[in-house]
Chain A
């Protein structure tokens, strides 16, 4: 018998041994899936402005830099962020809409066409859009769309400038999971603040292997 057949046979034999004892284990122990009787929040309740405010607060709480901009100020905000950072050579995914006129003089934009890891390691940062953002947890989700690119470009450079539009912002995790359902087969990266570790005495240290600086421009109002 193959390992596959043997393991499946073991599972079936094991399950035939009986069901978990119901009483004493709580009413949910033998309920059907996560369905009836269990009602966690499926949707938030905040108005769009409050939702955006919460996202800004939670991003900052996990040490991301946050800028707010109206749709008309988007290009200027990107330019200001790059100028403040002193980032001159930036990689962008092929589908990112970028107003190059608003960039600081001397900025070099490298469009990703399959750059090697070493090449990505040599740029000052990366600029991308986002797929979804979750206000309550301060999370940005990338789904590999043309304005976000492949995963390596937001991983190797040390600075990630991410542009999030108000319409992409949901309040809670279940809303994000629902929005992403159709894109479940794409590579997804959920980002909550810069890379961090708590492995030494459980003290949080920002900046290990992923981008050590995450800056987010929230476009809306």
Chain B
């Protein structure tokens, strides 16, 4: 088992879907070359952004709800041990059985054993991030059990032998024509005259899954919320596949991350407003199911709740990073992210893509196993504004970057290229004379990027910097040189706020050379 922050165990490698095959810059470069993907994503994210903005705008107390959501989650984390044991007691009191899983391997084993004990070789599944994270379908397959994904998008992903690329809409990278092709190719008994109308595709999925729902003996779900006070599990969905999976089978197994627990029933007043509006951009999602243990005569008569750690306690141990555990998986941050919109979810390598994935995945796996993700952001802050529980994603990104640098430094004990450059910059900037000399030298850099005003690639050891970003060519003139030419004397001591000292704003003429300085886009 790998260990990282404060020696807390993280999610083990080799199981589940938290680590990609390629580093983010490599995977992103590949994704950017796919114009169909970028087109599909741009269409879909623009649609969902507009829907969300409309329904969020309807609520005058949206900001108060966000603050309440954040406070409730912070409160739950602060006494997580207490709330989990309270939940365990309440579920047990209503006839449910609670299991604890240290990591993905243990959770997969528990679920496989539970399904095997029913004698069934099949299970119907509600879309669940936690079960995707631990690679449950693969583990069940290895145990000879077939898991049928029943959410339409998850079905598209499963039939397409694909990976999910979005938290809410896992097949967001597919358009209707591609989905039609997948159904025609993979769906047994499908009408060969199937059109690519969304309604026709949804109907095909209904027909395909209906027999499975009506005969399934085992259902597997995740949980959006679990109420410690009452033992109630809550699953939020749209299609009715969730209701089918949690109602019709004889046995229900729910896998939930330990951070999903909420202290009290009243917390639902906040979260059932925040989640649907942030997620699908609806006032309320079509169906929400809540159940508490087992109800005689109604629904599954056996209920198992698997509480999953898999690196969550490692995130909890980082006071700054901990807030990533507040995430309610709405995916609003993905939809507003300029990076996600262009590269899509696969580039992040984890089931948790986008801004929240960039702060969550590295904490679950240990930062070094997802070291490029905290850098997969321009720190524009749109994610923070969109987050219904006010997770300060940009601050956590910066914090994780620092953790990466620190862990690297401790690991090698010899400073890396970045550390050497920072030390050099510190030395240069400590004295005005050194800084001026460096700026003169900087102008040599113009030779590298004469063509488009940009430097695309630098030689090693600076190559890593320009691998994922262009560098603007240094200006022909530094600000200090321009000032000297313009005023016939060096700029005044900047510590004394020159504008006020002169009693008037700087002359208009500064716009011209300024434009040259700012030649960036």
Residues of A with Cβ closer than 8 Å to B? 2-4, 6-8, 10-15, 17-21, 24-26, 28-35, 38-42, 58, 62, 114, 117-118, 121, 134, 136-139, 144, 150-152, 155-156, 173-174, 177-178, 181, 184-203, 205, 207-211
Decide yes or no whether B327 CB sits under 8 A from chain A: no
In the assembled complex, the Cα of A181 lies from the Cα of B290 at a distance in Å of 12
Q: What chain B residues lie within 8 Å of A181 (beta carbons)?
A: 265-266
Q: Which of B29-37, B281-289, B452-460 contacts A (4 or more CB under 8 A)?
A: B281-289
Q: Does chain A have a CB within 8 A of B425?
A: no
| The one of A15, A35, A138, A150 that contacts B78, using a Cβ cutoff of 8 Å | A15
Does B2 belong to the interface (CB within 8 Å)?
Answer: no
> In terms of DSSP, what is the predominant structure of the interface of chain A?
loop
Interface residues of B in 66-86 (CB under 8 A from A): 67-68, 70-72, 74-75, 77-78, 80-81, 84-85
Q: Whole-angstrom distance between the alpha carbons of A24 and B394 in the complex? A: 12
Is there an interface contact between A10 and B9, defined as CB atoms closer than 8 Å?
yes
B202 CB contact (under 8 Å) in A17, A192, A205: A205
- Say which one of B20-28, B151-159, B414-422 lies at the interface with A: B151-159
B148 on the interface (CB 8 Å rule)? Answer: no
- Say whether, besides A184-B265, A202-B44, A14 and B214 are in contact (CB < 8 Å): no
Q: Tell me which of B61, B100, B248 contacts A7 (CB under 8 A).
A: B100
Determine if A185 and B81 form an interchain contact, defined as CB atoms under 8 angstroms apart. no
Q: Are B230 and A184 closer than 8 Å at their CB atoms?
A: yes
| Interfacial residues of chain B within 275-328, with CB under 8 A of chain A in the complex | 280, 282-293, 295, 297-299, 307, 309, 313-314, 316-320, 322-323
Residue of A nearest to B103 (CB): A3
Interface pair A184/B292, CB less than 8 Å apart: yes
- Contacts of B403-427 to chain A: CB distance below 8 A: none
Q: Do B206 and A8 have beta carbons less than 8 Å apart? A: no
B382-410 CB mask vs A (1 if < 8 Å, else 0) is: 00000000101001000000000000000
Tell me the smallest distance from the CB of A146 to a CB of chain B, in Å: 12
Residues of B within 8 A of A198 (CB): 169, 238, 280
Q: Interface residue count for B (Cβ, 8 Å)?
A: 108
Residue of B nearest to A134 (CB): B284
Contact B238 A41 (CB under 8 A): no
Q: Are A208 and B241 in contact (CB under 8 A)?
A: yes
Distance, CA A24 to CA B487, complexed state (A): 41
A-B contact pairs, 10 of them (CB 8 A): A3-B102, A7-B309, A10-B317, A38-B64, A40-B65, A188-B291, A192-B282, A192-B283, A197-B239, A208-B205
Contact across chains for B48 and A202 when beta carbons are under 8 A apart: yes
Least CB distance, B159 to chain A, in whole angstroms: 13
Q: How far is the CA of A138 from the CA of B320 in the complex (A)?
A: 39
Task: Pick the residue among A137, A144, A190 that contacts B287 (CB under 8 A).
Answer: A190
- B residues less than 8 Å from A202 (CB atoms): 43-44, 47-48, 51, 169, 172
A203's partner among B198, B215, B317 (CB-CB below 8 A) is: B198
- A34-B270, A188-B290 in contact; A201/B100 too (CB < 8 A)? no
Give the tally of cross-chain contacts (CB within 8 A).
Answer: 288
In the assembled complex, B481 has its CB within 8 A of some CB on chain A: no
Contact in complex: A187, B295 (CB < 8 Å): yes
- Given the complex of chains A and B, what is the CA–CA distance between A190 and B272 in angstroms? 10
A218 CA / B4 CA spacing, docked (Å): 58
State whether the Cβ of B338 lies closer than 8 Å to any Cβ in chain A. no
CB A29 to nearest CB in B, in angstroms, measures: 6
Cβ–Cβ contact A151 & B247, under 8 A: yes
In contact, B156 and A199 (Cβ under 8 angstroms): yes
Is B89 an interface position by the 8 A CB rule? Answer: no
Q: Which residues of A contact B318 (CB under 8 A)?
A: 17
Does B299 contact A199, Cβ atoms closer than 8 Å? no
Partner of B71, one of A2, A31, A208: A31
- Contact (Cβ within 8 A) B198 A7: no
Which residue of chain B is the closest to A180 with respect to CB atoms?
B265
A207 CA to B215 CA, complexed, in Å = 21
Q: Given the known A-B contacts A3-B102, A197-B238, A202-B48, are A20 and B317 also in contact in the complex, defined by CB atoms under 8 Å?
A: no
Q: Residue B72 contacts which of A6, A8, A33 (CB distance < 8 angstroms)? A: A33
> Which residues on B sit within 8 Å (CB–CB) of A151?
243, 247, 289, 298-299
B156: chain A residues at CB < 8 Å are: 199
Specify which chain A residues have a CB less than 8 angstroms from the CB of B317 in the assembled complex. Answer: 10, 13-15, 17
Q: Does residue B364 face the partner (Cβ distance < 8 Å to A)?
A: no
- Shortest CB-to-CB span from A196 to chain B, Å, is 5
A185 to B280 alpha-carbon distance, docked (Å): 28
B267 contacts chain A at the CB level, 8 A cutoff: yes
Contact present for B390 and A191 (CB under 8 Å): no
Residues of A within 8 A of B332 (CB): none
Q: Are A18 and B319 in contact (CB under 8 A)?
A: yes
- Give which listed residue, B8, B64, B268, B297, contacts A150 with CB less than 8 A: B297
Smallest CB separation, A26 vs chain B (Å): 7
Chain B nearest CB, measured from A164 CB (Å): 15
**A211: B residues at CB distance < 8 A:** 240
Known: A7-B313, A195-B286, A210-B240. 7 other contacts (CB 8 A): A14-B316, A24-B395, A29-B74, A208-B152, A209-B241, A209-B243, A211-B240
B176 proximal to A (CB < 8 A): yes
Closest-by-CB residue of B relative to A207 is: B202
Most buried by B among A30, A34, A156, A195: A34
| Bound form: Cα–Cα A14–B314 in Å | 7
Whether B71 and A28, one on each chain, are in contact in the complex, defined by CB atoms closer than 8 angstroms, is yes
Known contacts A189-B243, A195-B287; is-contact A34 B61 (Cβ 8 Å): no
State which of B244, B267, B285, B390 has its C-beta within 8 Å of the C-beta of A192.
B285
CB neighbours (8 Å) of A178 from chain B are 266, 269
